[in-house]
Amino acid sequence: MTISFSTLSQLVPLPAQIGQTEKQYLQYGFNTYAPSAYATSKQKTRVKFPSADIPDYTRSTGVNSENSEDPQKQGSTLTYGPYGETAANVVGHASVRYEFTKPINHVSLLERDIEVSHWGGNLAFEERYWLTNHGASLKGYFNRRDWQAMQHYKPPTSAIRELNVPLKVGSANAYFIDDIGNVSTSRFRTNLREANLELKPRYPVFGDWKYKFKIGWDQNLKASLRKSMPGDGYVLRVPFLEGPKQPEGIEYAHVKLQVILPEGATQVFPCELSSWSRLTNS
């Protein structure tokens, strides 16, 4: 049996401030024992990090069941244990500080609107983002000249410099707007195999910096709407969440989803635990 779960807001930049071209280090705290309501006969915890540059990590005060150093470090992986008989609900606190020179993408609020137009056969999407970089804050001033010089070889940076939004094949009329207006640094690529919206913010978003923007696009309604059987109703199938797909990941604190149906739609039945909605003609 495999149990998968995710935790949010567990990474703390240390040091909290870095220079524009300095490496970023994050501190991660975790439990060296598997959370269990039952006694465990044998276990080990293996934690793999994105970099082998791990200057600090918690070492066990004792030894594991193999009488070896605890944890064992191999490249970017730390292994705590194996441990023998362990009581239920035991907690072993550990923390690791490792190099991670990428942004920590945090969306405090996403407002996602999906508008159904049966007259034009169109499905219009608009998403409004309140984006923050939760990485180490910038020490000193931002140097635009140095930043532009870096773009020729693109070294690792903790700033958000681009976002990639894969869309459904056939999407059209994509746009990218912030508080100032249209952002011309976006690129929309579409063909028979893919549709991809590449966003480049108006400025690099360093640690603690914020960026508010909205994107939108259209899709053919036929690709997401089908006739229900039996009856004269329809079933609309849309993803609950799309948005940027970043190698380092992105977390959402609050998501507000609004599906705008045609005037006169009645007997609307949103399905639970899925992104399906059922509606019937008036």
pLDDT of residue 60: 77
Residues 116 and 63 in one domain: no
Residues 113 and 94 in one domain: no
Q: Are 188 and 99 in contact (CB under 8 A)?
A: no
Its domain, for residue 40, covers 25-99
95 located within any domain? yes
Residues 62 and 161 in one domain: no
Confidence at 258, pLDDT banded by 50, 70, 90: very high
Residues 65 and 198 in one domain: no
Residues 52 and 111 in one domain: no
Q: Which one, of 100, 83, 77, lies nearest residue 10 by Cα?
A: 100
Domains in the chain, number: 2
112: pLDDT strictly greater than 60: yes
What pTM value is reported for the model? Answer: 0.85
Residues 166 and 208 in one domain: yes
How far is Cα 127 from Cα 215, in angstroms, rounded to an integer?
A: 5
What are the strands of the beta sheet with 187-190, ordered from one edge? 163-167, 195-199, 187-190
Residues 267 and 133 in one domain: yes
129 located within any domain? yes
160: amino acid identity, one letter: I
70 located within any domain? yes
pLDDT of residue 18: 95
How far is Cα 19 from Cα 204, in angstroms, rounded to an integer?
A: 14
Mean pLDDT value across the chain:
88
Residues 80 and 186 in one domain: no
Q: Which one, of 97, 77, 95, lies nearest residue 13 by Cα?
A: 97
Per-residue pLDDT tens for 151-200? Answer: 788 888 999 999 999 999 999 999 999 999 999 988 999 988 999 999 99
Tokens (6 digits) for 29:
């705290």
Q: 118: domain CATH number?
A: 2.60.40.1730
9 located within any domain? no
Q: Are 83 and 62 in contact (CB under 8 A)?
A: no
How far is Cα 161 from Cα 206, in angstroms, rounded to an integer?
A: 9
Residues 85 and 196 in one domain: no
151 located within any domain? yes
2 located within any domain? no
Q: Which 3 state secondary structure label does DSSP give 222?
A: helix
13: pLDDT strictly greater than 80: yes
Q: Are 66 and 54 in contact (CB under 8 A)?
A: no
Residues 35 and 160 in one domain: no
Residues 34 and 145 in one domain: no
Residue 201 burial (CB count, 10 A)? 20
How much is the average pLDDT of 230-248? Answer: 86
249: pLDDT strictly greater than 80: yes
pLDDT of residue 274: 39
| Residue where a domain terminates, one of 51, 74, 99 | 99
Confidence at 267, pLDDT banded by 50, 70, 90: low
| Residue where a domain terminates, one of 99, 132, 150 | 99
Per-residue pLDDT tens for 34-84? Answer: 888 899 999 889 999 999 999 999 987 666 777 778 898 999 999 998 888
| Residue where a domain terminates, one of 99, 119, 145 | 99
